């Protein structure tokens, strides 16, 4: 089926229709050639097709940035919001419509700078959603300003002599939040790992925080280059309850068995800087999700009007 020929949102949920990955592409992505966002979009499309998610029951929410353009390219419902505010919007959607599959895409600026307060609280709320944080270590859309994840010493327009502070580590920060339930790291240049991580995030009942190391060919072309050229500098965290892609054994010789149930080990690993680590750092499927704790009662429109009228009656003279 061609995604150009038919708008999927016009289709009623029809179990007979088999959607393929390209059916989920609304229009071609407009990112720079070589941008890692393309790889993330491909993995997302594969996941949507694998799960046969119904476009009218799926929503992509974003803030502002290159990575936040996702809702324009994915053939589902979408909400391209304001800078740093994707998570409260997504939480509201999940509370009002818990049956929807909610995905969030954010950049590192979106998430760890202007949206940092929302990030911490959304992690603690643990509403069931997949959060893809595309970390290119820079403000991309606004053309090259230092973000909290920019490596210390890395020059940008706002720090021409190099970023003065050590970079904020989003894994360390998320793992430090009470009630965090899923924290993983993957990279756009390892597509099999990227896809497997997204699948695990989708399967997790709760707030799945996935940091995707993402190439920006324009402004941070060299930050991940060492790791791309030399796989020995990357260690895969593997476990039967984590992310394990057998086909990657050939490429990545450094593998560490890490049980993602162990929060202390997860935190210790996130603090180590000797190697880049990809994999599932932490996962706990037993934590309660916010939309169940704060379930919005389902009442009809008539009942809502009746309750409002009853309330107004109390003030009538
Ligand atoms: C309230 C507000 N402040 C600042 C901006 C300008 N702005 C738009 S996108 C952006 C940063 C984008 O960087 P990032 O979130 O890392 O995403 P990327 O473009 O790298 O994917 C900024 C500062 C804005 N749109 N709104």
Taking only the tens of pLDDT, the chain with its 317 residues reads: 444 334 555 555 555 689 999 999 999 999 999 999 999 999 999 999 999 999 999 999 999 999 999 999 999 999 999 999 999 999 999 999 999 999 999 999 999 999 999 999 999 999 999 999 999 999 999 999 999 999 999 999 999 999 999 999 999 999 999 999 999 999 999 999 999 999 999 999 999 999 999 999 999 999 999 999 999 999 999 999 999 899 999 999 999 999 999 999 999 999 999 999 999 999 999 999 999 998 877 889 999 999 999 999 999 98
The Cβ of residue 44 has, within 10 Å, a number of other Cβ atoms equal to 26
- CB environment 100-116: b (16+ within 10 A), e (fewer): bbbbbbbbbbbbbbebb
Residue 208 lies in a domain: yes
Beta bridge partners of 102: 59
Q: What is the reported pLDDT for 311?
A: 95
Give the residue carrying structure tokens 């491909």: 42
- Ligand 1 pocket test, pick from 106, 109, 145 with the greatest ligand atom count within 8 Å of Cβ, gives 109
- Classify residue 276: in a domain, yes or no: yes
pLDDT score at 4: 38
Does residue 198 form part of some domain?
Answer: yes
How far, in Å, from the CA of 103 to the mean position of ligand 1?
19
CA of 239 to the centre of ligand 1 (A): 36
Residue 154's CATH number: 3.40.50.970
- Ligand 1 within 6 A of CB of 136: yes
Contact, 158 vs 7, CB < 8 A?
no
Tell me if 299 is assigned to some domain. Answer: no
Is residue 223 in a domain?
yes
| Nearest CA owner, ligand 1 atom 25 | 83
> Could you tell me the distance, in angstroms and rounded to a whole number, from the CA of residue 293 to the centre of ligand 1?
33
First and final CA of the chain: distance in angstroms?
63
* The pair of three-digit structure tokens given for residue 72, joined into one six-digit string: 């324009």
In a domain, 303, yes or no: no
Does 123 sit in the ligand 1 pocket, CB within 6 Å?
no
Q: What pLDDT score does 220 carry?
A: 98
In this prediction, residue 2 carries a pLDDT of 40
Residue 252 lies in a domain: yes
- Say how far apart CA 216 and CA 134 lie, in whole Å: 10
Q: What is the whole-number distance in angstroms between the Cα of residue 166 and the centre of ligand 1?
A: 21
Q: Which atom of ligand 1 is nearest to the CA of 83?
A: 26
Number of domains in the chain: 1
Q: Kindly state if the Cβ of 112 falls inside 6 Å of ligand 1.
A: no
Q: Which protein residue's CA is at the shortest distance from atom 22 of ligand 1?
A: 142
> In terms of residue numbers, what domain contains 108?
8-291
The Cα 152–Cα 242 span in angstroms is 31
CB of 170 shorter than 6 A to ligand 1: no
Q: What does the alpha-carbon distance between residue 293 and residue 316 come to, in Å, rounded to a whole number?
A: 35
pLDDT per residue as tens digits for the range 153-210 = 999 999 999 999 999 999 999 999 999 999 999 999 999 999 999 999 999 999 999 9
Compute the distance from residue 107 Cα to the ligand 1 centre, in Å: 8
Query: Is 108 close to ligand 1, i.e. is its CB under 6 Å away?
Result: yes
């Amino acid at each position: 089926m061609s995604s150009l020929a038919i708008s999927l949102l016009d289709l009623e949920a029809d179990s007979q229709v088999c959607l393929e990955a390209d059916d989920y592409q609304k229009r071609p992505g407009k990112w720079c050639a070589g941008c890692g966002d393309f790889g993330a979009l491909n993995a997302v499309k594969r996941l949507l097709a694998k799960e046969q998610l119904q476009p009218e029951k799926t929503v992509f929410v974003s803030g502002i940035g290159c990575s936040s353009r996702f809702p324009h390219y994915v053939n589902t419902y979408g909400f391209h919001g304001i800078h740093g505010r994707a998570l409260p919007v997504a939480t509201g959607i999940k509370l009002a419509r818990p049956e929807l599959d909610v995905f969030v895409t954010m950049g590192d600026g979106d998430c760890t700078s202007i949206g940092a307060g929302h990030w911490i609280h959304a992690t603690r709320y643990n509403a069931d959603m997949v959060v893809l944080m595309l970390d290119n270590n820079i403000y991309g859309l606004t053309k090259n300003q230092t973000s909290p994840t920019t490596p210390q010493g890395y020059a940008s327009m706002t720090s021409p002599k190099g970023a003065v502070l050590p970079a904020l580590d989003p894994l360390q920060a998320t793992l430090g939040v009470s009630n965090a339930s899923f924290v993983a790291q993957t990279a756009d240049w390892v597509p099999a790992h990227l896809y497997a991580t997204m699948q695990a995030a989708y399967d997790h009942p709760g707030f799945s925080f996935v940091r995707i190391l993402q190439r920006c060919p324009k402004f941070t072309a060299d930050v991940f280059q060492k790791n791309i050229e030399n796989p020995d500098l990357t260690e895969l965290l593997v476990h039967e309850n984590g992310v394990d892609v057998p086909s990657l054994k050939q490429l990545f010789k450094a593998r560490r068995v890490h049980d993602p149930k162990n929060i202390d080990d997860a935190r210790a690993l996130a603090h180590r800087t000797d190697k880049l680590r990809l994999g599932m750092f932490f996962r706990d499927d037993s934590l309660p999700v916010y939309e169940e704790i704060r379930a919005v009662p389902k009442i009809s429109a008539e009942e809502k009007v009746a309750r409002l009228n009853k309330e107004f009656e109390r003030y009538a003279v």
